[in-house]
Amino acid sequence: MKTTRRQFLAGTAAVGVAGAIGVPSLFSQAFAQASNTLIFAAAGTVTGSWDPSSHTVAPQITAEGFLFGRLTHCPMTPENPGEILPDLAVSWSQIDEFTLEYKLREGVTFHDGKPFTARDVKATYEYASDPSRPASAWYPGRVDVEVVDDLTVRLSTKAHGYPALNFWYVSSFLPILCADDVANPDTLKQRPNGTGPFKYVSTTGDQIAFQAFDGYHGGKPAIENLIWAYVPDANTRVLGLMNGQYHLTERLEPEQYVSLSKEAGIKTDRSLSSENKYLHFRCNKPPFDDVRVRLAAFHSIDRDQVLAIVGEAGQASNCHLSPVKFGFTDVEGYPEYNPEKAQALLAEAGYPNGQGLPEIEYITSVGFYPKTREYGELISAMLQEQGFPVKLTTLEPAAWEEQLYRRADGQGPGHIVDVGWITGSPEPDLVLRPNYHSQFALINGINDPEIDASLDKERNAPNTEERLKILQTETLPLIAAKAPSISLFSSVFLRAMSNKVDGVTFLPNGPIDLRKATIS
């Protein structure tokens, strides 16, 4: 490997900023910083494997946003949530109920120089939809890909018994890998090789260096070097941004956002995300195995107050889907704050004024999502007011993640769990199936034939209009009425960046579009 001067500079910048790593930087006050380098203070970091099919971790999906191309691109704006733009595919169409056809872009190359063809799409989709892959949850099911010619592919779901239309939106979320890498999963793990605007250079401690890809099909990005610095503490990210150590940061606390808005030299960005924040009930053990108790809790929570605390970081929504998702609607009969109703339901369930309820544990994380501790205390207090004996447990994100999902025996710890669910496509099933279909029900463990039937019905809908109708008038109201979880609000992502940075676009699920960005 030949080291160019440019790479060398990128390397020194990485070491200098790292601070945390490497003795050489120990006494260096001034640190080398190549111009045209953007340093991103990230709230999360990547896993040990670069194989996109190996994980469902949000920060790595953000990193993959720089590295990989997808068939299509969904900007997911609240004004036009269903909009689909070309990426590696230039056009697409439905051939029949079980077949979608994509025409691919010509002249695209991977970072390692190999040309992109239909072969790569086939290899990627068939590999990643295999149920043994950890991220196969993103695929609506297994899929067969037919290579029509070098620049045409057909996705076929016939053999697997569900409509191909399910890929309509999902295809904007699935990174395309190189067929040669798929054939050799070890290389897939060790380094990412995509068609995206930036290519991977190296990892040093908690810093990942990327470099603009000369051969990017949309034109080489103006930002030459991109450094991903993992900074787990929100205060550190903000102080670092204020003293010029970082150029861009994410997941701000509302107060930080407000004070940074007033700061000279810094601009802020606020946009609705595809994330909703949920309180999941553990539905397969008492007392929340009783829908009346779940609804009583739902009616005990004044979500206006929760939103007042979340402030800039939240937006009211009465739906288990985010407003940027296909199918979102203001669900009719979405349970509202109503203490009388809560009391009536509790009494009906045999717990008048909460008497006889076991101690209820509410598990939440601190440090990743904004204000979880604060509104956790508020919600605990509101539930206690109605007689729920709630105990709040706040955990560091790693420990919380360990408690989050149901275990092999089907049970999860605690009774109420706070979590966000975020996916990079308008496709609603990426939220609904993993959470509410009894086949998965990853967190709440709900097992309700009516919900299952309704979810299958909307998935198997023959066309988009019909599907939208089923979702909005049947599936979502049913989920609200059965309340396996409470959708508290929709997350608004708060970010800040240096005034020197221009042209950044943020996607609602976290990834940052730097293709047109500049830094002066």
Partner 1 sequence: MAFAIEFFIRRLSQGLLIVLLVAFVIFTLLRIAPGDPIRIILGPMATATAMEETARELGLRDPIPVQFGRFIVQVASGDFGHSFIRGKQGGASGGSQDGAPDLSQRASVMDLILTALPYTLILASLGLIFAFLIAIPIGLAAGLNAGRWQQKLGLYISSFFVSLPNIWVGVVLIYLLSAKSGLLPAIGYRGIAYAIIPAIVMAIEMSPILIRAIAVSIAANVQEGYFNVGQVRGIPRSKMIYRHVVRNAAVPLLNVFSAQMIGMLLGGLFVVEYIFSFPGIGLLTINAVFQRDFPIIQAVAILASAVLVLINILVDFASTTIDRRLKF
Partner 2 sequence: MTDIPLSARPRSRSVAHRILAGAWATTEMKVAFFIFAALAVLTVVAPFVIDASATKITVADRFLPPIFMEGGRYPYLLGTDQLGRDLLLRSLIGLRNAFAIGIVSVVIMFVIGCAIGIYSGYRGGWVDVVLMRITDVQMSIPVVILAITILGMSRPNAFTVIAVLVLASWPAYARVARSVTLAERQKEYVRAAKILGASDLRIMALHIAPSILPSIAFVAVLDIARMMIFEAIFGFIGIGIQPPTPTFGTIISAGTQYLLNAWWITIVPGFLLALALTSLNLMGGVLERSRNLVLQGQL
Among residue numbers 281 through 320, which ones bind partner 2 (CB under 8 A)?
305, 308-309
Candidates 469, 51, 37; CA nearest to 225 is 37
CA separation (Å) from 207 to 40, 313, 500, 517? 10, 27, 21, 21
Does the footprint of partner 2 cover residue 396 (CB under 8 A)?
yes
CA separation (Å) from 286 to 28, 360, 415, 444? 59, 10, 9, 12
Does the footprint of partner 1 cover residue 113 (CB under 8 A)?
no
Closer CB to partner 2, residue 255 or residue 456? Answer: 255
* Residue from 1, 2, 4, 26 binding partner 1 (CB under 8 A): 26
SS3 string, 413-438, reads CCCEEEEEECCCCCCCHHHHHHHHCC
Q: How far, in Å, CA of 72 to CA of 82, rounded?
A: 12
SS3 211: strand
Does the footprint of partner 1 cover residue 353 (CB under 8 A)?
no
Residues 221 and 212 sit within 8 Å (Cβ to Cβ): yes
- Cβ of residue 205: shortest distance to partner 1, in angstroms? 4
**For residue 67, with 0-12 CB atoms within 10 Å meaning exposed, 13-18 middle and 19 or more buried, which class applies?**
buried
- Which does residue 49 touch among partner 1, partner 2, none (CB within 5 to 8 A, set by kind)? partner 1
**For residue 365, with 0-12 CB atoms within 10 Å meaning exposed, 13-18 middle and 19 or more buried, which class applies?**
buried
What type of residue sits at position 53? S
Among residue numbers 137 through 176, which ones bind partner 1 (CB under 8 A)?
137
* Residue from 402, 411, 462, 473 binding partner 1 (CB under 8 A): 402
| Stretch of 231-239, 296-304, 342-350, 471-479 lying at the interface with partner 1 (CB under 8 A) | 231-239
- Cβ of residue 44: shortest distance to partner 2, in angstroms? 18
Q: How far, in Å, CA of 278 to CA of 229, rounded?
A: 29
Angle at 508 between CA 327 and CA 310, to 5 degrees: 95
Closer CB to partner 2, residue 300 or residue 425? Answer: 300
CA separation (Å) from 443 to 163, 418, 447? 27, 10, 12
Among residue numbers 222 through 261, which ones bind partner 2 (CB under 8 A)?
234-235, 253, 255-256, 258-259
Does the footprint of partner 2 cover residue 269 (CB under 8 A)?
no
Among residue numbers 173 through 202, which ones bind partner 1 (CB under 8 A)?
189, 202
Question: CB neighbours of 289 closer than 8 A, spacing ≥ 6?
Answer: 283
Does the footprint of partner 1 cover residue 408 (CB under 8 A)?
yes
> How many binding residues for partner 1 (CB under 8 A)?
57
Instruction: Using CB under 8 A, list all residues that contact partner 2.
Output: 234-235, 253, 255-256, 258-259, 305, 308-309, 366, 373-374, 377-378, 380-381, 392-394, 396
Instruction: Using CB under 8 A, list all residues that contact partner 1.
Output: 16-17, 19-23, 25-29, 31, 44-49, 51, 53-57, 59-60, 133-135, 137, 189, 202-208, 230, 233, 235-236, 239-240, 243, 245, 396, 398-399, 401-402, 404-405, 407-408, 442
